[in-house]
Amino acid sequence: MFYKERTIIKLEGVTKVFNVKSQKVTAIEKLNLSIYDGEFLCIVGPSGCGKTTLLRILAGLEQQTSGRVIISPREPEKPLNSMVFQGDSLFPWMTVKQNVAYGLKMRGVAPKDYEKVVAHYINMMGLSKFENAYPHQLSGGMRQRVSVARAFANDPEILLLDEPFGALDEQNRILLQQELLKIWEGTFKTAVFITHSIDEALILGDRVLVMTAHPGRLKAEIKIDLPRPRDTLSMRANKRFVELYEQIWSYLKEEVIKAKSAV
């Protein structure tokens, strides 16, 4: 089997029901889904459709109510997954360096062994000057860069990214997308990336999944046959890019309207 063809994560009829004050909220319902080893998978869907819930189940932070999640790692000695969380998740009491080193330190790697790795990812994110700064001294864009560096430095097999650039301004988002692609390409890591931006999904992904409005199910799957390595700026003008954009939007539009009318 080839790279990006072997299934690394398989979801079979996964349902998650939250009990909120004796009311049942179905976040995702009977989700069937295969994620391939080494692919960059983007998931889009209206807000509240269960994207974060899905990612938290994959991360083991939440347990599905029913259904099965089968994960078959390629390199079982590596950490299975590392998450880049939605919103601020850096420890305020740790410096940039300490935050990036967190996963490695927790795994018992000795400082002399991880220092180089940590410095490498801090450098790739352009934060060398700030390695001893605390998060409150950084801008929002810089903090997200640290979050991404923390996940990569941990060297997991699967990266889970929950709208990591959602709160950033346009300029920072473009830069971070470029930087993310740069450090992801050549790592052979599987990435599951959640976003509300079709642009972003097309720029980054090998495949885009559209989820239905609440409760979350699979609406459509679109293969992004745009060549890599990608030039995140010029590709927007590509004819294929525009076609794919319209295709995804046509699926998403229905769900966004549904989500709106449900409120």
Partner 1 sequence: MNMTEEKLKIKIPREKEIKNVIVLESEENNQKRSVFGLDGIVFKICSLFSPLLILVLWELLSKLGILDIRLFSTPSLILKSMLPVVISGELFYNTFISIRRIVLGFLAGAIPGVIVGLSMGLFPLIRLVFQPIVSAVFPIPKLAIMPLILLVFGLGEVSKIFVIAMGVFFLVVINTMAGVLNIEQIYLDVAKNYGASRKDFYLTVALPGALPMIFAGFKVAMGTALLLIVAAELSAARAGIGYMIWRAYDMFDIERMFVALIMMSVLGYVFSFVIDWIERLAIPWKHN
Ligand X SMILES: Nc1ncnc2c1ncn2[C@@H]1O[C@H](COP(=O)(O)OP(=O)(O)O)[C@@H](O)[C@H]1O
Which residues make up the interface to ligand X (CB under 6 A)? 18, 20, 25, 27, 45, 47-53, 214
Residues 6 or more apart from 190 whose CB is under 8 A from it? 8, 9, 35, 36, 37, 38, 39, 40, 41, 157, 158, 159
Least distance to ligand X, CB of residue 216, Å? 7
Cβ neighbours of 252 (radius 10 Å): 22
Least distance to Mg ion, CB of residue 148, Å? 17
Q: Which is nearer to partner 1, 64 or 212 (CB)?
A: 64
- Residue 102 interacts with partner 1 (CB under 8 A)? yes
Contacting range for Mg ion; rule: CB under 5 A; set: 50-58, 125-133, 180-188, 233-241:
50-58
- Residue 233 interacts with partner 1 (CB under 8 A)? no
Take residue 66 and report the two structure tokens written for it.
Answer: 């029913």
- Residue 75 interacts with partner 1 (CB under 8 A)? no
3-state secondary structure at position 172: helix
16 closest CA partner among 56, 65, 67:
65
Give the separation between CA 246 and CA 10, rounded to whole angstroms. Answer: 28
- What residue 136 binds from Mg ion, ligand X, partner 1, none (CB within 5 to 8 A, per partner kind)? partner 1
Q: Among 35, 36, 42, 52, which residue interacts with Mg ion (rule: CB under 5 A)?
A: 52
- Residue 53 interacts with Mg ion (CB under 5 A)? no
Give the separation between CA 42 and CA 244, rounded to whole angstroms. Answer: 14
Give the separation between CA 155 and CA 123, rounded to whole angstroms. Answer: 16
- What residue 25 binds from Mg ion, partner 1, ligand X, none (CB within 5 to 8 A, per partner kind)? ligand X
Give the separation between CA 25 and CA 17, rounded to whole angstroms. Answer: 5
Q: Which is nearer to partner 1, 135 or 205 (CB)?
A: 135
Asked if residues 47 and 196 have their Cβ atoms less than 8 Å apart, the reply is yes
- Residue 92 interacts with partner 1 (CB under 8 A)? yes
Q: Which is nearer to ligand X, 30 or 74 (CB)?
A: 30
Interface residue list for Mg ion (CB under 5 A) = 52
